[in-house]
Amino acid sequence: MSTGSADLVVTGGPVHTGIPGERAEGFAVRNGRIVAVGTAGEVDAWCGPGTRRLDLAGRLAVPGLIDGHIHLGIGGTQLALELPLLPTDGPDEVLTKVRDWAGRLEPDEWIVGGILGSGTYAALNSREMLRRLDEASLGHPVLLRDDTMHNRQVNSAALAAMGVDDTTPDPPGGTYARDADGRLTGALWELTSTRAEEAAKSAQRDPHGRLMTALRAALERTRRIGYTSLQDAATMEHHLAALQDLERSGDLPAWIVASMPARDFLEAGAVGEELFAQAPQYRSEQIRPDFVKFVIDGVPTTRTTALLHPYRCHHDSEDSEFRGTPYWSLDELTAGLRRCAELGLGAKIHATGDASVRLALDAAAIVRKDPGPQPIIQIAHMSFIAPEDLPRFAELDVYADACPFLWHPSPLFDAVAHQVPTETMDRIWPFKDLLATGAVVAGGSDWPVGLPELNPWLGIETMVTRGAPEEQGDPRRINPEQAITREQAVAAFTSASARALGIDDRTGALRPGLSADFLVLDRNIFEVPATEIHRTGVDETYFRGECVHSRG
């Protein structure tokens, strides 16, 4: 029975609460929070003279989606300010787009853009392609990001701005790609990319203004497609400052959980203890700098992922036993997790290979034996998991941060398969087995990594179908035995992600006491053919009980 009237009552269509198996006929909202969920009659009891009514008219209401792994700054900048490239663009198309973009710029402006498909990125790695990129750029420095966001392609003008030449040694954790004669090709692997990003940023006239524009673009996109909570996967201080400005101006329609890099990252700025000390000044109700980001290996396409089995060999000169090397030792990672516990922070651990996943689980196993407070631990990407390690996620209370959601044939998938042994690829993204052990699988996009467009409904669909959207015309299914149900997939982007982010006391489901973050959809994603889920449109997005997006 109600103890007062609600501000908003929602009825007239099916309500999925975000918990598998739970349905309702409506819910009531007061002061931005849900106060009742139940039958239409139970909810109607909350109506008063000032209550607004939202008639679903048969449409489905679901909780606001949660992206547990997104790069708001990079994605928004690419969306609003940079040269757009498609992962399917070949070298000639890339060069044509670079030349066209160069013609729009002021002298000395950088050409920054992406994303390069892994196949195109590899094709650009030569002295001849460097020469052609120099010609196409019309004298402008060029920085292009690949679909993993771990690597960059630059031209000679950018190398000069970076202060890098053929004699420059590789830094720890990074490589300047060279030809057989030791000459630079312009390809930058891992942490050498940071130097290029620093050089490009130093040439910007108004970095904070650019970032504000980028974040506004990213947040407009995310609320339009249904996100009301986001975990930024690599958050620097300048991101926190810009997010704070947006919140103060009323332009932050989402809960933001920040992940602060523990070591040098692919963006310029303070990391580690210096960043951790700065973060509390930005903490607010909506901005939560609650996680530390650990990158303990790289990406398969450049053989920087740490695997249990050797990479595939394509040339006689390659080491047939090479498995990649983690960036962190077990002792270092264990110490890092213990520091998280001391600071009251969680850990988001980037681990793309089965060896790095095991390393992360081994560190978690040690830390879980410690007395006192324990950190939330997520293992991000976890594309490959050895069968014997699957039960350890639930046993150690470690969340599976399942991203990116390219759980279907794609250029990036094929580039990974070119490097990773077949027996490992055959076990990719074992979601069904993880869920069977009791593990929590949280969904994320890793946008803009590998993605020309952000679409969480595609992520939900392909967790169910394990295939590409029908319009792509690719009939393959990727490890189809690991398909999960629609309700499990929706939970990955709602209630499960809320638990993994540590915000399940605030959002993630339609339940009394939680924030009224919900969506009204143009179709019932539990009834339409699974292959149509990616076409889902969001008619309305509500954050804290207020409409922040409407299709009119």
Q: How confident is the model over 467-502, as pLDDT tens digits? A: 999 998 999 999 999 999 999 999 999 999 999 999
Write out pLDDT tens, residues 367-380: 999 999 999 999 99
Mean pLDDT of the chain: 94
Taking the CA of residue 440 as centre, how many other CA atoms within 13 Å lie in the half-sphere pointing to its CB? 23
- Predicted confidence band of residue 108 (pLDDT cuts 50, 70, 90): confident
CB 175 within 8 A of CB 191: no
Query: Which residues lie closer than 8 Å to 205 by C-beta, 6 or more apart?
Result: none
**Alpha carbon of 475 to those of 156, 186, 485: distances in Å?**
42, 36, 20
Higher per-residue pLDDT: 285 or 87 = 285
What is the DSSP secondary structure assignment for residue 400, as one 8-state letter? E
Residues 68/71/73/77 CA torsion (nearest 10 deg) = -130
- Predicted confidence band of residue 411 (pLDDT cuts 50, 70, 90): confident
**Alpha carbon of 69 to those of 220, 342, 378: distances in Å?**
17, 24, 11
pTM: 0.90
Query: Which residues lie closer than 8 Å to 197 by C-beta, 6 or more apart?
Result: 143, 152, 266, 267, 268
Report all structural domains of the chain as residue ranges with CATH numbers, in order of start: 1-58+509-552 (2.30.40.10), 74-202 (3.10.310.70), 296-484 (3.20.20.140)
Residue where the block lists tokens 């057989």? 180
**Over 80: is that where the pLDDT of 91 sits?**
yes
**Over 50: is that where the pLDDT of 270 sits?**
yes
pLDDT at 8 (0 to 100): 98
Residue where the block lists tokens 């052609």? 132
Least confident range of 59-68, 168-177, 332-341: 168-177
Sign of CA dihedral 365, 367, 369, 372: negative
As a whole-number percent, the residues of the chain with pLDDT over 90 amount to 84
pLDDT at 3 (0 to 100): 63
**Over 70: is that where the pLDDT of 223 sits?**
yes
What is the DSSP secondary structure assignment for residue 64, as one 8-state letter? P
Residue where the block lists tokens 């190398």? 159
pLDDT at 2 (0 to 100): 53
